[in-house]
Chains A and B, each alone.
Chain A
């Protein structure tokens, strides 16, 4: 089965990738049994599928994702949660009294799980699955860069957590909450996250982030 690109090559919309239409994965489309790229990104083969990993983009909700949102409306039968950029999630609670008992206000940041996403909109899990943030810094980064922020088996985020002593909660939609022992540590963690977002595509990043955090904390 021939493929028409080299691994990690930058491909453009409409570029022919393969002659086998069944290999169409994320970021590609197939027409008449051929696979073409649908967006700018790096073409890779994973399993038997061809994917295009985009350089920038928006979050696409998947069931089971843990996301962070800001309550944007309180309704008799639930809450509306803004998930950053263009997405609004809905928490449906049939019991009116329960809605009041939850004591969520407009502007509260919550940690929730996506139940389903489709024609009915983005539905979020209710009950124990909702965690409200009492304090912390809310930071937004491009959701595409989240895997880099977490790093291989969580190495990057563990390093940031350890050095700054902050508790960092990451939502898959690109929103992050930082809770730390002092404003200085929180600031260091925020700077580190922004640095990782900006320089996600460079190598030797872990060392540079480590150096920067140490500089901020010791200053």
Chain B
């Protein structure tokens, strides 16, 4: 199937969806959306819609996987069959298994797992609509859900992708830019300590482009981090301490 490559940046310097190169898509965040989970979150980045749910700390199964000194973190990143244009077969693909792993490793850097020896904490990320940047949206949602579940953690994680389309650096790629662009680099950070917890790169960046891209990502992450804090504060500001 060969389609004609669309023009990704028009003569006014705007992108396919009318954004400036350093502009994020409209973001929507909500926490505590799933009743049966211990913590949950829903995140929307334009057309990308993701649910995350956290269960636990609970007994680790199978039991031999439990660790005596800390909890194990299980993570499942999954795209629903209807999330993409052509139906995705059920089950975990190679790509989903890999993303589950990198997301788990990113979350492990901030969560204080040693607080719950022998237990397991399960994180489920379900993409219900995919329009580029699902792993970054998933990670953003997962960190919100962990915070909602009251799992001790050093910081929230905010993530965004930067890329190169038509020779220009852009922030927060959509599906079209991801497909026809020259490079795509998802970045996740724990903004409090400015530490990078996930970084992948698809395509080619020159060293100077890489540096510029990382700064651009940091700018986006700062904005997303602020939104995450606002969302959590909004949900819990109504609660008051117990009178004991």
A148 touches B244 (CB 8 A): yes
The distance from the CB of A22 to the nearest CB of chain B, in whole angstroms, is 19
- Interface: B56 (CB within 8 A): yes
Question: Known contacts being A12-B147, A14-B190, is A39 close to B69, with CB within 8 Å?
Answer: no
Quote the shortest CB–CB distance from A125 to chain B (angstroms).
20
Whether, in the assembled complex, B20 has its beta carbon less than 8 Å from a beta carbon of chain A, the answer is: no
When distances are taken between beta carbons in the complex, the residues of chain B under 8 Å from A57 are 150
A216 to B3: give the CA distance in the assembly, Å. Answer: 71
Q: Is the CB of B239 within 8 A of A39?
A: no
User: B192 contacts which of A14, A42, A145 (Cβ < 8 Å)?
Assistant: A14
Provide the residues of chain A in CB contact with B192, threshold 8 Å: 14, 36
B residues 24-59 near A (Cβ < 8 Å) are 38, 56-59
B152-160, B171-179, B210-218: which lies at the interface: B152-160
Chain A-chain B contacts (Cβ-Cβ < 8 Å), number: 101
**A13, A44, A152: the one within 8 Å of B147 (CB):** A13
Given contacts A29-B112, A31-B193, A57-B150, contact A8 B240 (CB under 8 A): yes
Q: Chain A residues with Cβ under 8 A from B119's Cβ?
A: 86
Contact flag A13-B240 (CB < 8 Å), given A40-B148, A86-B56, A86-B118: no
The contact of B239 among A29, A85, A201, by CB within 8 Å, is A201
Residues of B in contact, count (CB < 8 Å): 41
A212 to chain B, nearest CB (A): 18
Chain A, residue nearest B229 (CB): A12
How far is B148's CA from A55's CA once the two chains are assembled, in angstroms? Answer: 9
Chain B residues near A31: list those with CB within 8 A.
154, 193
Q: Could you say which residues of chain A place their CB within 8 Å of the CB of B153?
A: 13-14, 38-39
Task: Verify if B242 is at the interface (C-beta below 8 Å from A).
Answer: yes
Closest Cβ of chain A to B66, distance in Å, is 10
Task: Please count how many residues in chain A sit with their CB below 8 Å of the partner chain's CB atoms.
Answer: 38
A170 touches B (CB below 8 Å):
no
Q: How far is it, in angstroms, between the C-alpha of A88 and the C-alpha of B236 when the chains are bound? A: 31
> Which chain A residues border B156 with CB–CB below 8 Å?
12-14
A39 CB contacts on chain B under 8 angstroms: 147, 150-153
Which DSSP category, helix, strand, loop or mixed, fits chain A's interface? loop
A182 within 8 A of B: no
Whether B154 and A36, one on each chain, are in contact in the complex, defined by CB atoms closer than 8 angstroms, is yes
A40 B58 Cβ-Cβ under 8 A = no
Alpha-carbon distance between A196 and B30 when the two chains are bound, in angstroms: 27
The docked-state distance in angstroms from the alpha carbon of A161 to that of B193 is 50
Q: Is the CB of B59 within 8 A of A86?
A: yes
* CA–CA, A97 and B193, complex, Å: 58
A151 contacts the other chain (CB 8 A) = yes
Known: A10-B236, A10-B237, A86-B58. A56 touches B244 (CB 8 A): no
Please provide the 10 A-B residue pairs with the shortest distance between their CB atoms, ordered closest to farther: A14-B155, A38-B152, A14-B192, A86-B119, A148-B242, A147-B244, A13-B153, A86-B58, A42-B241, A10-B236
Kindly list 9 other residue pairs between chains A and B, CB separation below 8 angstroms, not including A39-B152, A152-B243, A200-B242. A10-B233, A13-B154, A13-B156, A29-B112, A36-B154, A38-B152, A39-B147, A55-B236, A85-B59
